């Protein structure tokens, strides 16, 4: 007899393998501000993982040009795939040439998956 957690884990793996996209998940740790440039240093720790992406909102520029001003999406990661720390707002997700800023992070589905809400644009 399989447990509910085992069935959830199997389902998450199947969904990730079928619908997932390859992304780079980057932990961003702020460092000291450089006196000369007044720029804050960052320590970056990155992993490559597969995530299931769901778009949730888009704001478009007025005037019919169709250019996206701001976009939000949810990325689902299997918890065991996230090996570079505990995701938090401020982390980055890079999908191809697009960089997303994580705005919220929470455990989901029996604490087997991370749900990361991210934004790109203005």
Q: Domains (ranges, CATH) in the chain?
A: 4-121 (2.40.10.370)
84 CB-contact burial (10 Å; exposed 0-12 / middle 13-18 / buried 19+): middle
Q: Could you tell me which of 56, 60, 49 has the C-alpha nearest to residue 25?
A: 49
Task: Print burial letters for 87-117: b (CB count within 10 Å at least 16), e (below 16).
Answer: beeebbbebeeeebebeebeebbeebbbbbb
> pLDDT tens for residues 9-44?
888 889 888 998 999 999 999 888 988 888 888 999
Band the pLDDT of 88: cuts 50, 70, 90: very high
Residue that the structure tokens 């644009």 belong to: 121
CA distances from 108 to 12, 28, 43, 79 (A): 11, 22, 27, 9
Q: Range with the lowest mean pLDDT among 20-34, 52-66, 74-88, 103-117?
A: 52-66
pLDDT for position 115: 93
pLDDT for position 95: 93
């Amino acid at each position: 007899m399989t447990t509910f957690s085992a069935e959830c884990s199997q389902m998450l793996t199947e969904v990730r393998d079928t619908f997932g996209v390859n992304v780079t998940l980057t932990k961003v740790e702020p460092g000291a501000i450089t006196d000369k440039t007044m720029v804050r240093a960052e320590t970056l720790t990155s992993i490559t993982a597969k995530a299931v992406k769901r778009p949730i909102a888009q704001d478009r520029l007025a005037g019919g040009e169709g250019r996206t001003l701001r976009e939000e999406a949810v990325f689902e990661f299997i918890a065991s795939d996230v090996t570079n720390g505990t995701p938090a707002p401020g982390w980055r997700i890079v999908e191809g040439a697009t960089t997303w800023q994580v705005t919220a992070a929470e455990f989901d589905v029996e604490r087997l998956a991370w749900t990361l809400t991210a934004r790109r644009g203005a």
